[in-house]
Amino acid sequence: MWLEPVRAVGIIDALLGRELVDCAGLDAVASANASRPGGRRARWVFGLADAGAQSPPESQLRVRLILAGLPRPVTQHPVRLPNGRVLHLDLCWPEYRVAVEYDGHWHSDPERMHLDRQRLNQLVGAGWQVLHVTSRRLHRDFPRLLREIRTTLAAAGWRR
């Protein structure tokens, strides 16, 4: 409840993802503590949580984008390709066909990079704009990253 929201949501996302808690349970905790110090803040933080996050950096990225004023992205959105294969996007705005993929350290492996580029080509071929985010960009270049995502969403039709 008293942790910085980006960090707190990462923990809650992990609990949700492992099914150690569910949204109803979070809502019950928030309701039971509504009048206590931090109760409103807890409800707000719980509202930022999402079980679809697959890593703490994905959670951090999602929450930072929301707090910066972007619409809430969908996590693990399925995209069916013309060949029938289904890919799941880390974060996306389906109505604009804009996706953001978080590339952790393991994405630098040559075989992983090959598969990632193949996946990227398939998504682009299906009409998606895909932006990639690394740890370095998330932690050291967030303002520029945010501008890129805003610009891409605006070009796709998003209006603030």
Average pLDDT over residues 24-41: 89
Cβ atoms within 10 Å, residue 24: 8
Same domain, 46 and 72: no
pLDDT surpasses 60 at 53: yes
Average pLDDT over residues 58-83: 96
Same domain, 102 and 150: yes
Residue 79 within a domain: yes
Task: Please state, in angstroms and rounded to a whole number, the distance separating the CA atoms of residues 130 and 97.
Answer: 9
Average pLDDT over residues 85-109: 88
> What CATH number does residue 148 fall under?
3.40.960.10
* pLDDT-derived band at 158, boundaries 50, 70, 90: very high
Decide if 19 contacts 10 (C-beta within 8 A): no
Same domain, 40 and 81: no
Task: Please state, in angstroms and rounded to a whole number, the distance separating the CA atoms of residues 31 and 126.
Answer: 43
pLDDT surpasses 70 at 9: yes
Give the pLDDT score at 105: 59
Same domain, 71 and 41: no
Joined together, the tokens standing for residue 145 give: 């990253």
Question: Is the model more confident about 110 or about 22?
Answer: 22
**What residues make up the domain containing 75?**
67-155
Same domain, 38 and 86: no
The single-letter DSSP state of residue 33 is T
In terms of average pLDDT, the best of 25-29, 41-45, 70-74 is 70-74
Average pLDDT over residues 32-40: 87
The whole-chain average pLDDT of the chain stands at 91
Same domain, 33 and 78: no
